Amino acid sequence: MTVHTLEDLLAEGVEGRHVLVRSDLNVPLADGAITDFGRVDASVPTIRALSEAGAKVVVAAHLGRPKGEAVPELSLAPVAEALSERLERYVALAGDVSGEDAHERANGLTEGDVLLLENVRYDARETAKDSAEREALAAELADLVPGGAFVSDGFGVVHRAQASVYDVAKTLPAYAGGLVRSELEVLRTVAETPEHPYAVVLGGSKVSDKLGVIEALAPKVDKLIIGGGMCFTFLAARGNAVGSSLLQEEMVDTCRDLLERFGDKIVLPVDVVAADAFAADANTTVAAADAIEDGWMGLDIGPESAREFARVLGEAKTVFWNGPMGVFEMAPFAEGTRAVAQAIIDATAGGAFSVVGGGDSAAAVRALGLAEDGFSHISTGGGASLEYLEGKALPGVEILDR
């Protein structure tokens, strides 16, 4: 695969030249304030490198799912402020995606300036199934950077064939940003040359969301640890009663098949923290995984499970983790995720190569106050990292190979 990189573009020279950067700035918000700056921080190095080299930088990004409407609550205004603080340079926010205000501001940029376009998903063409509609938006984005280049640096969106990710790369000279390159290098190591023992930890709510990666990785790993809400469908496949716990009944047979084929590798919880309601102030109890009573729901792995998971992780030389072990946002159900994360940190300190596969896992690391540098790599793209490990093509990466 031959992909031009940010380093190639900088070597060519960008002083006084417009450069369009697709970043992933899809941050969580609460009352208009950013609650996790991970994706902002990860996007800064590429933007800074271009700005310091004298480029006129135009950044495209999305936030949430406004479905083609200008939803004020999903404006990128808080992100522009956060970028300004981190770059120590004012980052203006355009009042639209590719309209009159965006053009006026882009035309007025001087060397080193940075402009953030408004939420690109305000324009329905960004995610349109009709390629002609996407290409029309891509052409408008390209018009904002006459004679310029495109840098793909939003790893969290490269698995989507969207206008600002895929189609614009057909319109402008395209380069892979530093973040995309580093993400791919790390995931390639995990997918192709992991050191054994190799342990994968999967959590989250639904088996169906992780089925592809389970099928792809199970033959390659030494241990596959299953936690989170998805574990209850596996437990049900074993014949366990799971009370009111989350259950995908349509996936029980699939899980039974997985257990038959990979049962020697799959590690399931032996106990859970169960509650009588989905609430932080609910009554809780620790129940054996095969003795969850009716009316009670498992919302975290239990202490015995945490110890067993930690033991397995302590023997690993490569660890990939995607998905929390419980409802970590509620304090009574956060300890399983904390214990697993700490076990991975300890394994890393002992020489293991560890990758946190983005999404809720990355958010949990920061929300629980754990040291980010305790892991070898924290991905910015949950869906993209899973699809890469499944062996699926990533349109936003493949289009760079031209």
- The residues annotated with a catalytic role in the active site are 39, 206, 359, 383
Sequence-distant (≥ 6) Cβ neighbours of residue 44 within 8 angstroms: 83, 86, 87
Q: Is 212 marked as binding a ligand?
A: no
Distance CA 219, CA 329 (A): 32
**26 marked ligand binding residue:** yes
- Does the annotation place 24 within a ligand binding site? yes
- Was 25 annotated as part of a binding site? yes
Q: Is 358 annotated as a binding residue?
A: yes
Tokens of 343: 């076990």
- Tell me: is residue 63 an annotated ligand-binding position: yes
Q: How many helices (H) and strands (E) does the chain have?
A: 15, 17
Contact 177, 155 (CB under 8 A): no
Q: How distant is the alpha carbon of residue 88 from its chain centre?
A: 26
The reply, when asked if residue 160 is annotated as ligand binding, is yes
Contact 167, 137 (CB under 8 A): yes
Instruction: Bin 317: left if φ > 0, else alpha if -120 < ψ < 50, else beta.
Output: alpha
> 65 among the known binding-site residues?
yes
Residue 283 known to bind ligand: no
Burial of 45 (0-12, 13-18, 19+ CB in 10 A): middle
369 annotated binding-site participant: no
Contact 63, 119 (CB under 8 A): yes
88 assigned ligand-binding residue: no
Q: Take residue 196 and report the two structure tokens written for it.
A: 């054994």
In sequence order, the 6+-apart residues with CB closer than 8 A to the CB of 325 are 203, 227, 228, 300, 301, 306, 309, 336, 337, 339, 340
Are 252 and 237 within 8 A, CB to CB?
yes
Distances from the Cα of 219 to the Cα of 24, 118, 319, angstroms? 32, 44, 15
Say whether 238 counts as a known binding-site residue: no
Task: Write the CA distances from 207 to 19, 175, 227, integer angstroms.
Answer: 41, 35, 10
Is residue 361 marked as binding? yes
Binding site for (2R)-3-phosphoglycerate, by residue number, is: 39, 121, 160
Binding site for ATP, by residue number, is: 210, 298, 329, 358-361
Binding site for substrate, by residue number, is: 24-26, 39, 62-65, 121, 160
Binding site, by residue number, is: 24-26, 39, 62-65, 121, 160, 210, 298, 329, 358-361
